[in-house]
Amino acid sequence: MSDPRIELVIADRIARLTLRRPEKLNAIDADMVDALLQACRTIERSDARVAILTGEGQKSFCAGGDIEAWSSLDAETFSRRWLRDGHDAFDALARLTVPLIAVLNGHALGGGLELAACADLRIAEAHVKIGQPEPGLGIIPGWSGTQRAARRFGAGLVRRMALFGEMFSAGDALALGLVDRVVATGEGAAAAQIAAARVLQRSTRATELTKMLVNAAEGEESERVVEALAGAVAASSADLAEGLAAYRQKRPARFGQ
């Protein structure tokens, strides 16, 4: 990877993506945002069938955007670069064609929760805290913390975290639907491996199509899903084969004959 703090290892058809900045609680700066987007492109072009996302250490899965990185930006740069680039990277994670498992091995706060919201399955270790503290700093949850998070967790929970400053334990998060499973501290990686193995036992194409359809149902990427599915049908049709043959042979196409 272009940034060693974003580590991507692909082996046995599993992509493992790790934030490696424990001294800063795995907070994300601009270079890490770029590396996350690059990692998504690499995963899509690999033989990976499932991806696992986690952070180094047990203190923090991700503390969100690095305050030192964004607080010094002028308003225009903050809006045009920081927010937009972050959206691009997080959207790419949420729209991976393979299932994404987030292992919350530490606290998921602010942008860390927004990062976790990109996943299809969230496994939290027992000591984890989850919340959206951004308005307490005078800023909004900017990487789809009010949009994707509301779609996936419900607007009521986002209001409780972002407007009223509530922070939830792993157990509370499980009961409220913020996470899908809670395991003992230190056991998140093993639980993710078991979940990934289940994905590998299922049809690659059917899994990809199902994820696309679920994303579309959530409003995650409806336009792209419709065009991708329609394109796949057209690409497998006899009409395409005839059209290409006619083009290469410089003759009129004979569709439906």
Per residue in 222-231, pLDDT tens?
666 677 777 7
**pLDDT recorded at residue 126:** 97
**pLDDT recorded at residue 12:** 97
Neighbours of 189 (CB within 10 A): 15
**pLDDT recorded at residue 203:** 95
Tell me, yes or no, if 134 is annotated catalytic. Answer: yes
pLDDT tens sequence across 150-206: 999 999 999 999 999 999 999 999 999 999 999 999 999 999 999 999 999 999 999
**Of these residues, 56, 125, 134, 220, which one is catalytic?**
134
**Of these residues, 56, 114, 125, 220, which one is catalytic?**
114
**pLDDT recorded at residue 41:** 96
Tell me, yes or no, if 114 is annotated catalytic. Answer: yes
Q: What is the CA radius of gyration of the chain?
A: 20
Q: Two tokens at 127? A: 């000591």
Residue 114 CA to chain centroid, in angstroms? 9
- Mean pLDDT computed over 219-238: 73
Mean pLDDT across the chain, nearest whole number? 90
pLDDT surpassing 90 at residue 132:
yes
What is the full DSSP assignment across 150-211? HHHH-HHHHIIIIIT---EEHHHHHHHTS-SEEE-TT-HHHHHHHHHHHHHTS-HHHHHHHH
Confidence of residue 7 (pLDDT cuts 50, 70, 90): very high
pLDDT tens sequence across 87-127: 899 999 999 999 999 999 999 999 999 999 999 999 999 99
**pLDDT recorded at residue 25:** 94
Distance of alpha carbon 165 from alpha carbon 158, whole angstroms: 10
Spell out the domains of the chain, with CATH numbers in brackets.
6-200 (3.90.226.10), 204-249 (no CATH)
What is the full DSSP assignment across the chain? --STTEEEEEETTEEEEEE--GGGTT-B-HHHHHHHHHHHHHHHTSS-SEEEEEESSSSEEE--B-HHHHHTS-HHHIIIIIIHHHHHHHHHHHT-SS-EEEEE-SEEETHHHHHHTTSSEEEEETT-EEE--GGGGT---TTTTTTHHHHHH-HHHHIIIIIT---EEHHHHHHHTS-SEEE-TT-HHHHHHHHHHHHHTS-HHHHHHHHHHHHHHTTSSHHHHHHHHHHHHHHTSHHHHHHHHHHHHTS---TT-
